Structure 1
Amino acid sequence: MVAETPAGARHNRFAKAEDFHVPLTARLMNNRNFLAIWFMLPAAAILLLFLAWPLILGIYLSMTDTTIGRRGYFIGLENFELLADDPVFWLSVYNTFLYTLVASILKFVLGLWLALIINEHLPFKAFLRAIVLLPWIVPTVLSAIAFWWIYDAQFSVISWSLQRMGLIDEYINFLGDPDNARASVIAANTWRGIPFVAITLLAGLQTIPQSLYEAATIDGANSWQRFRFVTFPMLTPIIAVVMTFSVLFTFTDFQLIYVLTRGGPLNATHLMATLGFQRAIPGGQLGEGAAIAVAMIPFLLAAILFSYFGLQRRRWQQGGKD
């Protein structure tokens, strides 16, 4: 006797057989994986055109002696060897690390403090948040021009105020002294970056369940202990991502430095980005400028790895779930 084939099985067999008669285009349009790749192609093409290609071209130029108006020849690592013996380049590396480290720490501390304040139940909270965003919204060039006026050797409002209060006898040379210039550009960058850190951390603070604070209060935790054992651990993944972007923006800063000091005085505020531009465009040495830009890549990758490990901590907090 032949066992009867269930109706459902016969239907599935016939359905699979009919699939061969469906046009390939129709089957692909019903495939979610194919549609996902198809919809991502425009974005991928834009990224390849405006990000990957300039990166590849920059790496190639860093290994040539190309100048403006003359096609160069491949010289291998000669540009990097020249930079290794260039004191101005190493000064720019020092300035970049000092600028990034100090400004990032200040932005994190002040941004976290500001986020904690505006997270409280304050009157006109929405208005305060809008005001906090102003330094971030204003174009960088306009901010730099405003700071250039504030730091002006003859018309500085800071020096004028301090002199009227009897704290100083003569105007401070903010941008003419190397140490003062470094401190001045760090202060300007910190002022611009605080809103980004504050608003992002504020969003993270509002996702922390209030039940955790209530449980900690019942256990007798004071305000500092609640911050240390509840707020900070829950904010750690967000802090990792926010500070990664902050470090990237600060490390590659160009507009603020170029408008305020153009790397002076005595190269005291030259960052790797501004020095690379100066060597490549005004100086005409495209290969050398590209080599300085390529030398920034390992440091940027290190910042991205910092964010990656922060996200790994987020997975650990969620029990290993993606």
Structure 2
Amino acid sequence: MPHKRPNPFDNEAFLGYLLLVPTVLVLSIFLAFPFIYGVVLSTTSTEVGDEVLGRFVALANYLFEMARDGVFRTAFVNTFSYTFYTTIVKFVLGLSMALLLNQVFPAQRFVRAALLLPWIIPSVLSTLAWRWMFDPTFSVINWVMNSGLHLPICHGSTTCVNWLGTPGTAMLAMMIVNIWRGTPFYGIAFLAGLQTIPTDLYEAARVDGATRWRQFLHITLPMLRPVLLVVILLSTILTFADFQLPWVLTRGAPYNSTQLLATWAYTIAIPGNQLSIGAAVSLFLFPVLTVVIGVVLLLLRRPE
């Protein structure tokens, strides 16, 4: 009787590696190649329009940015501040939203769907709307604060707070838009986590005399830890590398006071014609973001 050749598809290990091939190819084409090319580009003197890579300059672009570029240092600090403060506020507001939406009330599904709108709307369109609302002449925010709340923020009929024209208020405005846009994502993700917590735990805690605050500390937060970890990590990555919102809203103005690493990298690379230096600035995001993610993992991981 002839020996039957084994079918390789019956081998689970072989089949597993085979199914990974499309994913590896996609990641290699759209992630690995651009990253490696960016690293190579950052070590040259390439400019916009060059048909070939410029001469090799090693780490000169990185050293120039760290030692001489004052805007880079401003963008570096701004990126940390922007990410840190918006992440904290989105976490608090998102968790509060989730706790409220987890209650039973009329039109519950409609409210949940409506609160997702800021996150669903394309970021460029929503940011353009916010840019109009922050306009010093036509600002609806200034109108509400001056006419509705009677706050003395306007002098005369046209001179009001220039939200995007003053360094302090411009960064605040940028954070407000980011928080408005990102909070629904936190809220819905936390709500999904809340609905996986068994109600028996709360009933047993109430029988034992636990207050709502103790139930929150000893049941809700520990059970939500995996969701908290994933949401905060994802939000930190997206906010740290945010480009669309700050570019559409301020483009780094006024006086580069709202520049982030992502916007400064683009400003140097495309309008500034220095592709290699722009690549070097953008690559500063990688090690810094790796450290930030590591710190968040250490702070939020489940105790052994």
Give the TM-score normalised by the residue count of structure 2. 0.93
Change (3 A) 1:175 1:42: same
Deviation at 1:311, TM superposition (A): 8.1
Cα distance in 2 between the residues matched to 1:138 and 1:151: 19
Aligned 8 A contact 1:244 1:306 in 2: no
Number of residue-to-residue matches in the alignment? 295
Q: Which runs of 4+ in 1 moved over 3 A?
A: 306-312
The alignment status of 1:139 with 2:139, answered yes or no, reads no
Cα distance in 2 between the residues matched to 1:308 and 1:95: 23
Helix, strand or coil for the counterpart of 1:313? coil
Give, as a single letter, the amino acid of the residue that structure 2 aligns with 1:236: R
What residue is the counterpart of 2:21 in the other structure? 41
The alignment status of 1:60 with 2:44, answered yes or no, reads no
Q: C-alpha deviations, 1:141-176, integer Å up to 9, x for none? A: 001101001100100001011111321241211000
Cα distance in 2 between the residues matched to 1:248 and 1:307: 11
What residue is the counterpart of 1:8 in the other structure? none
Give, as a single letter, the amino acid of the residue that structure 2 aligns with 1:253: D
Deviation at 1:107, TM superposition (A): 0.5
What residue is the counterpart of 1:291 in the other structure? 280
Aligned 8 A contact 2:229 2:301 in 1: no
Change (3 A) 1:230 1:96: same
What residue is the counterpart of 1:77 in the other structure? 59
Give, as a single letter, the amino acid of the residue that structure 2 aligns with 1:116: L
Q: C-alpha deviations, 1:3-24, integer Å up to 9, x for none? A: xxxxxxxxxxx9xxx6xx334x
Give, as a single letter, the amino acid of the residue that structure 1 aligns with 2:31: L
Q: C-alpha deviations, 1:73-124, integer Å up to 9, x for none? A: 1111101110112111000011101100111011000000000000011211
Deviation at 1:312, TM superposition (A): 5.0
Match for 1:103 among 86, 90, 106?
A: 86
Cα distance in 2 between the residues matched to 1:310 and 1:214: 30
Q: Tell me, which stretches of 5 or more residues in structure 2 are unaligned?
A: 155-159
What residue is the counterpart of 1:4 in the other structure? none
Q: C-alpha deviations, 1:219-257, integer Å up to 9, x for none? A: 111111110111011112210110011111111110111
Deviation at 1:199, TM superposition (A): 0.5
Cα distance in 1 between the residues matched to 2:228 and 2:153: 43
What residue is the counterpart of 2:112 in the other structure? 129
Q: C-alpha deviations, 1:280-306, integer Å up to 9, x for none? A: 111111110011111111122134335
What residue is the counterpart of 2:163 in the other structure? 174
What residue is the counterpart of 1:261 in the other structure? 250
Match for 1:222 among 211, 214, 218?
A: 211
The alignment status of 1:242 with 2:231, answered yes or no, reads yes
What residue is the counterpart of 1:151 in the other structure? 134
Aligned 8 A contact 1:62 1:79 in 2: yes
Cα-Cα RMSD: 1.6
The alignment status of 1:160 with 2:160, answered yes or no, reads no
Cα distance in 2 between the residues matched to 1:99 and 1:89: 15
Give, as a single letter, the amino acid of the residue that structure 2 aligns with 1:176: G
Give, as a single letter, the amino acid of the residue that structure 1 aligns with 2:86: A
Aligned 8 A contact 1:244 1:303 in 2: no
Change (3 A) 1:195 1:180: same
Aligned 8 A contact 1:140 1:255 in 2: yes
Give the TM-score normalised by the residue count of structure 1. 0.88
Deviation at 1:310, TM superposition (A): 7.3
Helix, strand or coil for the counterpart of 1:36? helix
Give, as a single letter, the amino acid of the residue that structure 2 aligns with 1:55: F
Larger radius of gyration: 1
Deviation at 1:182, TM superposition (A): 0.4
Cα distance in 2 between the residues matched to 1:50 and 1:310: 31
Helix, strand or coil for the counterpart of 1:82? helix
Give, as a single letter, the amino acid of the residue that structure 2 aligns with 1:63: T
Identical pairs, percent: 44
